[in-house]
Amino acid sequence: MTDPQHTRQNPVTQHPTPEFPAQDQPHPGWTGPMDPPPDHGEESYRGAGRLTDRKIVITGGDSGIGRAVALAFAREGADVLFTHLQQEENEARETSRLVEDAGRKAVAVSCDIREEENCRALIERAVGEFGRIDVLVNNAAYQMSQPDGIEAIPTEQFDRVMRTNLYGMFWLTKFALPHIPEGGSIINSTSVQAYKPSPHLLDYAMTKGAIVTFTQGLAQMLAKRGIRVNAVAPGPVWTPLIPATLPDTVEFGKQSPLGRPAQPAELAPAYVYLASQEASFITAEILNATGGTPLP
């Protein structure tokens, strides 16, 4: 039987390429209606014990990149606590199933990380479940396309983007640090938008640039404590956020040099690597996964 994870393939044609069917969903978006369906590595990811008995916290783990990372971490031997929004219960159940099918513990927590006390309670829950946090993955994010310019961005939207993408990351990191042992790590999800901002995603791009700075500064702060801090900067990725927040999905990802968006499964190995002992000398790094778009 062919193992797609270890079989040489042309990256241009390995996964679906645009044009995609036109599709639109209400926020936060759902995996089920997407056409083509996202690939989280369900049939392809094979673990090798690289994260055996690690205790992981992932925000936004119900779908998309977060689900793929949770699945990969579990198949590498880790227990996973992940967050989701209340309306994402069905998505969260599927992520839990994938983790548990790998023989690992899954803890799904409905949590709005825009509130400081929610972040504090989340970390307390994780410590209660696991006793420690080996890896914190700050992945949850909010975006909403605003093609009519800065004048059309309501303060409510701006505040939600900032609090979800930055405040939550700051609070969770602050509260988690006392429970991260030497050899642990923090991995933040930034974006190609940090370096090549799209005008219609101005507020989102602002936060992704700030995440780069936060990652690099925090890495220097924590180096002597033996805690590594890195980030992954994806380009276009086929997740439920896309039909829920962007007006045109038909040609999504076509502008990348590979001519298509990434599937979530293609991002997960980057997180596994950064979390693993193989990356012991890697900190303050922004790992770009853009399909060929060069970044600084």
Q: What is the pLDDT of residues 205-264, one digit of tens each?
A: 999 999 999 999 999 999 999 999 999 999 999 999 999 998 889 999 999 999 999 999
pLDDT in tens, 22-37: 999 998 999 999 999 9
Pull the structure tokens for residue 145: 């396309």
Instruction: Tell me how far apart the alpha carbons of residues 156 and 195 are, in angstroms, rounded to a whole number.
Output: 25
Q: What is the mean pLDDT of the chain?
A: 97
3-class DSSP state of 199: helix
| CA-closest candidate to residue 73, choices 122, 131, 139 | 139
- As to burial, measured by CB atoms within 10 angstroms (0-12 exposed, 13-18 middle, 19+ buried), residue 19 is exposed
What amino acid is encoded at 257 in this protein?
Answer: P
Strand partners, 231: 188, 286
Contact 212, 188 (CB under 8 A): no
Instruction: Tell me how far apart the alpha carbons of residues 14 and 1 are, in angstroms, rounded to a whole number.
Output: 18
Q: Residue 286 belongs to what H/E stretch?
A: strand 286-289
Cβ neighbours of 3 (radius 10 Å): 8
| CA-closest candidate to residue 105, choices 53, 176, 140, 62 | 53
Contact 241, 38 (CB under 8 A): no
Average pLDDT value for residue range 257-276: 98
User: What residues contact 94, with CB distance under 8 A and at least 6 apart?
Assistant: 31, 62, 67
What amino acid is encoded at 151 in this protein?
Answer: E
Fold of 46-288: Rossmann fold (3.40.50)
Residue 18: left (phi > 0), alpha (psi -120 to 50), or beta?
beta
For the chain, the domains span 46-288
**What size, in residues, is the chain?**
296
| CA-closest candidate to residue 132, choices 195, 182, 201 | 182
Contact 58, 80 (CB under 8 A): yes
Eight-state DSSP code of residue 80: E
pLDDT in tens, 142-171: 999 999 999 999 999 999 999 999 999 999
Instruction: Tell me how far apart the alpha carbons of residues 53 and 127 are, in angstroms, rounded to a whole number.
Output: 14
Q: How confident is the model at residue 3 (pLDDT cuts 50, 70, 90)?
A: confident
| CA-closest candidate to residue 28, choices 80, 59, 63, 57 | 63
With 0.75 as the threshold, say if the pTM is over it. yes
The single residue of 195, 204, 271, 273 carrying the catalytic annotation is: 204
Strand partners, 106: 80
Residue 1 pLDDT more than 70? no
Which pLDDT score is estimated for 5? Answer: 79
Contact 242, 16 (CB under 8 A): no
Strand partners, 137: 58, 187
Is 204 part of the annotated catalytic residue set?
yes
